[in-house]
Structure 1
């Protein structure tokens, strides 16, 4: 989910023609306005915009709670009838966290899983203190002693290997030095499966659960999945006997239960549905429903004593190439020429690419660049001994 960054800038996110029209009518972000356009009259609150947004629209929050964008070329007049700045202070929580309960850090890595929305203004406010978190989801106090800590705020498509290394080191510190009984990572959903996979390899000898959680729907929507996902993730981290990296997200489109996905087997399969995450090539490890953890499988790592080791050595100059019909060999030559240390090819079917790429692949192998084959298919396996193309690739050294 995307956050609107709030600042004191009166024209936050507005530039060009959009800013000019705000200045012309002497209105600003958080002004309550009546805007007359060629297609009708709209009342609402002017919202800040993302810094890369176009300069052709003004965004307002309507009295219904929905946001809409108005084309500046169709605006005839804007009248300011009030001013309602975004609220930053959350109400005091009605519950008191119990420090005797299992200690579960909520490490914020982006997204709005631990944020609160001001329904009047549309501003998404990070819930970065225990008081704010328990105000947002008071049910957490009955489960564990949850203490949130922000590692960084970024859209998950901007996650890099450097961020993965920081997360792994922070998890190591929480478990080994601060006595965390489990760890919850709040993460944007788009690349959550990538982070879950790399952490599964980085965190060696893991003695406790590390649970990634996010939300598909923003907090201002009745269909938001944020609260249930967070409650179930904390339940898993504090009560589960598993000691693996997992993803805990909605299992259905309804608020029935969350599925527990193994970090190396999970993939986001839908861009917007609440049950977007699926285990690939297996069944989920289990589910969390009404505060109970029900495991479907028995072959998972169990809780234990001891310390986790964050093995953060990795090579980030590895290319993932998705083969397609007509692909030119210069794609592979490019990664060789620019100093990449490894190439993973997502081939068709059982692991095939065109014969026209063979010379480029052989060059990479001859220059000691490992070339590894995987399949574009979501189910099944790589079987390169079945057909001639696969056997030829094996003979090249793939």
Structure 2
């Protein structure tokens, strides 16, 4: 049997498939010491182990079967995957808003081929219409794929390219913009675009999915519909992240690009607004503001595109017994900015003091944030904080560490004058620095406990 029938399998697993004449994409019944399983044999990547066979079962989930437990396999059918989603022409509807979807890589949406078990990525308007037909009732969609990278490979060059592309779309009269993005660094990109695209007259909505579309619990389609409605119909003209609210699928939440953070590795409601409340909630039928003040949609095409970024900026997460060579290495390598995520109110140990002084004397901009995420840097409370400020560290108020890193890179991309950098850093562009936190924000998080919310509303003094 040709090796083409065993994509990615090797070693013991490959020999087992050959022994029972079962192919990748074959429908199979597998008998094991743990029971019988039915489904479609899926391919594996070349880096996977050789001790498991991957099966897509009827529920849509994938399982790995230990080859040592297999007693018999029978192929009951075969249908090779077709890696192309059927396209339907995306209908143009007079009166619906024009929305541009800009892709950065990964799967924006996909359709499961139940006959083969393949997950087929969709990106063109026709493919997206085939995968999520509800989009045609929301907007007139056009797409462009700027990058094809995993989100961990997004960086300053991609941020700048995105900002310039957004500016051109606004100039050309688009009604709203969606940016499809992997979730791991989505909040970094959201912060960068908040600073690089200012005074936008239209919504800019970043969206991703936590679970792939071949899983029954996938959030991909609903997130995309929510993002499309926000981009096309909302009056909120800000850079936002649109992701799941509660796990009940009732609504999504729109988070400010400079107050949002990914807070769980796999949870669908992973994105949370930190130190503030979400801007709004969104369903397929409407957007409900949560905040009372936000930038409103305008009819003009005026926007400020500021695509600047100094790459020699680092973020250091302080830990006990951190040694000064961590900072010295940044000095030696010509770094221009350092963001420290300090303990408590913004502290580090005394052995770092000489290295911090050396960095400050070299003209390196150093800013302090807090590891707690919620709360403010307060460096006047203890001697430690006052000592650090005397050595050149600037408190970054309640900026999130990642946001401070992005903003410092953006500021240093415009000037090396440390006083001007400080002015930029401590002057809020949006809500990266706020005067106070909401009374219920830390207690309730988002998306969830209405009875507690009601209790606090009645009894909070």
TM-score normalised by length of structure 2: 0.78
1:362 is paired with a residue of what secondary structure? helix
Post-superposition offset of 1:15: 4.1
Distance in 1 between the 2:33 and 2:109 partners?
40
Post-superposition offset of 1:14: 3.3
Within the candidate set 241, 244, 250, 2:235 is matched to 241
- Where do residues 159-198 of structure 1 align in structure 2 (5 Å cutoff)? 159-177=154-172, 179-198=173-192
Within the candidate set 141, 147, 156, 2:142 is matched to 147
Is 1:326 aligned to residue 303 of structure 2? no
User: How has the CA–CA distance of structure 1 residues 174 and 356 changed in structure 2, closer, same or farther, with 3 Å as cutoff?
Assistant: same
User: How has the CA–CA distance of structure 1 residues 41 and 295 changed in structure 2, closer, same or farther, with 3 Å as cutoff?
Assistant: closer
Distance in 2 between the 1:396 and 1:158 partners?
34
- 288-297 or 19-28: bigger deviation: 19-28
Is 1:336 aligned to residue 326 of structure 2? no
- Where do residues 27-42 of structure 1 align in structure 2 (5 Å cutoff)? 27-42=22-37
Distance in 1 between the 2:330 and 2:153 partners?
21
Post-superposition offset of 1:375: 0.7
2:165 is paired with a residue of what secondary structure? helix
Q: Which residue of 2 aligns with 1:376?
A: 371
Q: Which structure shows the higher helix fraction?
A: 2
Within the candidate set 377, 386, 391, 2:386 is matched to 391
Is 1:59 aligned to residue 44 of structure 2? no
Aligned CA-pair RMSD: 2.5
Post-superposition offset of 1:181: 0.8
Q: Which residue of 2 aligns with 1:257?
A: 251
Within the candidate set 256, 261, 274, 1:267 is matched to 261
User: How has the CA–CA distance of structure 1 residues 81 and 249 changed in structure 2, closer, same or farther, with 3 Å as cutoff?
Assistant: same
Post-superposition offset of 1:261: 0.7
Q: Which residue of 2 aligns with 1:226?
A: 220
Q: Is the 8 A contact 2:108 2:122 kept in 1?
A: no
Distance in 2 between the 1:334 and 1:43 partners?
56
Post-superposition offset of 1:128: 2.0
Within the candidate set 43, 52, 62, 1:48 is matched to 43
Within the candidate set 261, 271, 287, 1:277 is matched to 271
The number of residue pairs the alignment matches comes to: 390
Task: Give 5+ residue unaligned stretches, structure 2.
Answer: 394-461
Q: Is the 8 A contact 2:89 2:125 kept in 1?
A: no
Distance in 2 between the 1:223 and 1:35 partners?
25
Q: Is the 8 A contact 1:65 1:120 kept in 2?
A: no
Within the candidate set 341, 346, 351, 1:346 is matched to 341
Q: Is the 8 A contact 1:351 1:382 kept in 2?
A: yes
Q: Is the 8 A contact 2:119 2:214 kept in 1?
A: no
Q: Which residue of 2 aligns with 1:128?
A: 123
- 132-141 or 118-127: bigger deviation: 118-127
